[in-house]
Amino acid sequence: MMNAAYNGQTTDRFEFGESLNIGSAFALTDNTIPDDVKNDPTRYTEVTDPVNGVHWFALNQQRADADNLYSIGYQFINEIKDRYYVGGANGPGTDLLPGFQGQFEFLPRQDLDIVRIMSSTAGVFGYADVWSGDLEF
């Protein structure tokens, strides 16, 4: 995953790295994401870590030049919600299904560790930087 995202730096094609983009916060109280987006489960998804309460969120990205872009971060969070959370992908992503509470919280947290890696990878390799051919000196 990191190698594929890194290749965006060498080819100036950042679609893969951008599709990994996932954000996190302890409290989502600001209005950086418009309500019409947050309230549309086809465009926005969010899940809460059952132990530390961190909220992980992602957008189903749309691109003018790639209408069939697969948003990896968005899809992966929805898979976690389907697997472990009440309401599945369309639910709020806050309450674990009964079989995963208590002793078995480590199962969703293993997948959330991958979410953390995806977020870090996108932060490092998902965007143009000074070494990219996009910027001239």
The reply to whether 23 falls in a domain is yes
The reply to whether 18 falls in a domain is yes
103: CB partners within 8 A, 6+ apart: none
The reply to whether 131 falls in a domain is no
b or e along 30-53 (b: 16 or more beta carbons within 10 Å of the residue's beta carbon)? eeebeeeebeeeebbbbbbbbeee
C-alpha to C-alpha distance for 42 and 44, rounded to whole angstroms:
6
Q: Amino acid identity of 56?
A: W
Q: pTM value? A: 0.79
The reply to whether 137 falls in a domain is no
Give the structural domain span for 44: 2-125
pLDDT in tens, the chain (137 residues): 555 555 555 555 666 767 778 888 887 666 677 888 888 998 899 999 999 999 999 988 776 666 666 788 999 999 999 999 999 999 999 999 998 877 778 889 999 998 998 888 777 666 555 454 444 44
The reply to whether 134 falls in a domain is no
The reply to whether 117 falls in a domain is yes
The reply to whether 133 falls in a domain is no
The reply to whether 39 falls in a domain is yes
User: What domain count does the chain have?
Assistant: 1
